[in-house]
Amino acid sequence: MRKFDELASQSSIVKPENYKKYESACAMSIKLGDYSYEAMNRLARYIKARREGSTTDTIHETIYNVTESHLGVPESSMWDECRKMLNGLLQDVTTLAENILDPDVAVKGSSYFCPG
């Protein structure tokens, strides 16, 4: 993040051809963040319902349903697929952290022409 702040203070931008690398990491981060948030909410509702003595889905069904709806991952490979997604995100972020230090990733904002 400091590197992005530094680029901004120098009126520099990340070259558009490098956006795909950033888009992928952002999309996966948002997807996993939304999944985690929804899982937390559903688990909180599950716990509340159980404390109140209400009949509800099992905890397994609760986790399965949120995983299926937010990640599109089948129950049989739920944990393995989540692990793969997290590993992929970690690799993307590591690559981005290394690449942002490369001086060829950015150019001065006013010197780069984007036809449009």
Residue 113 has pLDDT above 60, yes or no: no
Percentage of residues in the chain with pLDDT exceeding 90?
7
Candidates 115, 116, 41, 23; CA nearest to 14 is 23
Q: What is the pTM of this model?
A: 0.65
Residue 16 has pLDDT above 90, yes or no: no
User: Whole-number mean pLDDT of the chain?
Assistant: 79
Say if residues 46 and 57 touch (Cβ distance below 8 Å).
Answer: yes
